[in-house]
């Protein structure tokens, strides 16, 4: 999750990246940073990609990703959860890099 400045104020943006293709496969923006923000990005990614086989979902340890409801949704979609080590931003380097480019371009 990152935040971006807009004319109307700050927006939180949750995005999911396919690490193989480096494409953003799901994203959602909202004024509040809730579990619904990440859930909508996950839902978009799942229905756009329609993954077959096993999928590893990696995220940081944010409360939105660690929530029981989000973890339950990952299981429903047949995705295995992986989370960054505590305090280690390098585990999420690809999406952090994308967020940096996004902020720079806006």
Query: Per residue in 23-76, pLDDT tens?
Result: 999 999 999 998 899 999 999 999 999 988 889 899 988 889 999 999 999 999
Residues found in the chain: 106
CATH of the domain at 78: 3.30.420.10
Mean predicted confidence (pLDDT) in 76-92: 86
pLDDT, position 106: 81
| Pairing, β 55-59 against β 23-30 | unpaired
Residue 30 β-bridge partners: 12
pTM: 0.86
Instruction: Tally the domains of the chain.
Output: 1
For the chain, the straight-line distance linking the first and the last C-alpha, in angstroms and rounded, comes to 16
Q: Is 16 left (phi over 0), alpha (psi -120 to 50) or beta?
A: beta
Q: pLDDT by residue (tens digit) across 7-16?
A: 989 999 999 9
Contact, 44 vs 70, CB < 8 A? no
Q: Which domain holds residue 66?
A: 2-105
Q: What is the pLDDT of residue 90?
A: 80
């Amino acid at each position: 999750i990152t935040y971006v400045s807009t004319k109307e104020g700050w927006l939180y943006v949750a995005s999911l990246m396919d690490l193989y293709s480096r494409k953003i496969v799901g994203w959602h923006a909202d004024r509040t940073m809730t579990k619904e923000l990440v859930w909508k990005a996950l839902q978009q990614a799942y229905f756009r990609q329609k993954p077959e086989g096993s999928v590893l979902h990696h995220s940081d340890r944010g409360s939105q990703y660690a929530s029981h409801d989000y973890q339950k949704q990952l299981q429903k979609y047949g995705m295995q959860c992986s989370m960054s080590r505590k305090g280690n931003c390098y585990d999420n380097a690809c999406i952090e890099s994308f967020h940096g480019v996004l902020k720079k371009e806006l």
